[in-house]
Amino acid sequence: MRQLNFDVLTLFPGILAGPLNESILKRGRDKGLLNVRVWNIRDFAEDKHKTADDSPYGGGAGMVLKPEPIFKAIEAVTAEYPGERLLTILLSPQGRLFDQRQAERLSEEKRRIVLLCGHYEEIDERVRTALVDEELSIGDYVLTGGELAALVVIDAATRLLPGVLGDEESAYRDSFGDGLLDNPHYTRPADFRGMKVPDALLSGNHEEIRRWRRREALKATLMKRPDLLKTAELTDEDREMLAELKREVRREL
């Protein structure tokens, strides 16, 4: 049984509490497939006010997370799990873009994953230099802190664990599972306010349904994220469908 272990270091543990106790993440934890422990960085601050940040040397706006409490927090995690290897990841806008391939990589990670949530203006560079193994970013924008990014990473990796989802194949049929966007989905009723479910999905012909779904996935990717087609895993059938779709688009222009 594959199991994921996360330790999240944050100034605001409450941000993570709700999502970790709902839906797929709760299911993963209940099944023992996902373990998440949240550590409050302020608990490791050395002064009576539990100060975790200070003004930057050289001046400038904002505050910088201090090195002492973060070093002590990492040391506490290490002491808590003697003999276990750690993979320490800083959630940062400077990091490598987190995508489905990264989620797949982390879902197979055997080391305990420590997610360090930045906050305020920046984090003391000595933390990055001495403690951080890698940095990840969930997009080219700035969040108030790394907590939401940590939840994205945990969620995306957890749903790939066998046994977490009700349908074992659904994680790999989703968008980006094979480099493409997902195909459209429909449920009852077959006719809603004049909007009908495509005939192929009502045919009962499994091969026709498969081809329709694949073609629609290719179409969605072509229209919305054509950049993904450069690296998507395409078969000869996919390329034929794609060529036909491109001809249709040209005719409509």
Condensed to tens digits (0 to 9), the pLDDT of residues 69-99 reads: 999 999 999 999 999 999 999 999 999 999 9
Q: What is the tens place of the pLDDT at every residue in 146-200?
A: 999 999 999 999 999 999 997 665 655 565 768 899 999 999 999 999 999 999 9
Q: Which CATH superfamily is domain 175-252 in?
A: tRNA(m1g37)methyltransferase, domain 2 (1.10.1270.20)
Confidence of residue 2 (pLDDT cuts 50, 70, 90): confident
Residue 233 one-letter amino acid? E
Q: What CATH class does 4-158 carry?
A: alpha beta
Asked if 164 and 27 touch (Cβ cutoff 8 Å), the reply is: yes
From residue 117, alpha-carbon distances to 39, 64, 142, 176, 192 in Å are: 11, 13, 13, 26, 45
What's the pLDDT at 146? 96
- Are the CB atoms for 10 and 38 separated by under 8 Å? yes
Mind telling me the catalytic residues? 93, 121, 159, 174
Q: What is the pLDDT of residue 197?
A: 97
Structural domain spans, the chain? 4-158, 175-252
Decide if 18 contacts 47 (C-beta within 8 A). no
Cα–Cα distance list, 156 to 58, 105, 172, 187, 241 (Å): 39, 11, 12, 25, 30
